[in-house]
């Protein structure tokens, strides 16, 4: 039985994940975490998730929780997740991270941490990860004759832009076409910018209402256009992906993994 700790247990995503943990064979909710000073700290988790977890107190101490748990599921922010990843690494346990917006330096630090099993996915959706692979293959097949533009749409509350998934899509294209993310990624356009260059990969962010997450990759040539799109209609898609990762990651060797590893698509 894998004991799971969940951050943000009083929030929308955390409570959804905690509820799924209690309903998943092979998993047991071992700890519910919230930020220091949150009104739910010290509250009995049974009041939120049912009698099966009664007696578990909501805590703000990640390190202590990981003394008893095997894996932490963390959907917070890049800054908070970094602290949690370090704590899990010190404990030699596993962590599933659904946060986005990590800087290159933060990603390098994560890769350098010994002992931890880190599942770090730009998107926990199985369908979205299949799209990453399809986009890479399409770019290889279509080649330099097709311009590539990526458009992502999310709810008005999303803090980072562009989305981690949009960047992952751009990286999939760049890998296939030998493009340089530093010089060839273009984030939106304004004013008289001149004609589009051959190597540009355009990335555009839209924020509106309660959109869970839409991503479209446009391959455009003179006379034809191919569009590949993924639409997420429920946050449960990401929560179920995290549950799948939590079942898988504790059995892996220390290192950094992503959904493509779990799905065998690498």
Residues with a known catalytic role: 154, 158
| Residues 149-158 as b or e (16 or more Cβ within 10 Å = b) | bbbbbbeeeb
Name residue 228's beta-bridge partners. 217
Using CA atoms, how far residue 77 sits from 68, 106, 205, in Å, is 24, 12, 19
Q: What would the two tokens of residue 90 be?
A: 């010190």
Do you know the residue count of the chain?
266
Classify 81 as helix, strand or coil. Answer: helix
Beta-bridge partners for 102: none
Tokens representing residue 225 in the block: 């256009």
Q: Whole-angstrom Cα distance, residue 255 to residue 130? A: 22
**Measured distance CA(168)–CA(150) in Å, rounded:** 11
Strands 185-187 and 94-97: unpaired
SS3 (DSSP) at 146: coil
């Amino acid at each position: 039985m894998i004991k799971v700790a969940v951050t943000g247990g009083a929030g929308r995503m955390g409570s959804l994940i905690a509820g799924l943990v209690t309903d998943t064979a092979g998993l047991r909710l071992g700890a519910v975490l919230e930020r220091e000073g949150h009104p739910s700290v010290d509250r009995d988790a049974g009041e939120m998730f049912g009698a099966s977890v009664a007696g578990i107190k909501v805590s703000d101490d990640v390190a202590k929780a990981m003394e008893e748990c095997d894996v932490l599921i963390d959907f917070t922010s890049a800054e908070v997740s970094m602290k949690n990843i370090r704590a899990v690494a010190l404990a030699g346990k596993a962590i599933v991270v659904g946060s986005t917006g990590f800087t290159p330096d933060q990603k390098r630090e994560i890769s350098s941490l010994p002992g931890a099993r880190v599942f770090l996915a730009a998107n926990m959706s199985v369908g979205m990860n299949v799209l990453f692979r399809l986009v890479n293959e399409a770019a290889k097949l279509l080649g330099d004759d097709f311009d590539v533009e990526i458009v992502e749409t999310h709810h008005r509350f999303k803090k980072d832009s562009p989305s981690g998934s949009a960047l992952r899509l751009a990286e999939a294209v760049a890998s296939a076409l030998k493009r340089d993310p530093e010089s060839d990624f273009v984030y939106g356009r304004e004013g008289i910018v001149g004609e589009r260059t051959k190597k540009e990969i355009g990335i555009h962010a839209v924020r509106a209402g309660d959109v869970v997450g839409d991503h479209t990759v446009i391959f455009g040539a003179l006379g034809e256009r191919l569009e590949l799109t993924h639409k997420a209609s429920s946050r449960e898609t990401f929560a179920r992906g995290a549950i799948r990762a939590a079942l898988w990651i504790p059995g892996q060797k220390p290192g950094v993994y992503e959904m493509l590893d779990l799905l065998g698509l690498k």
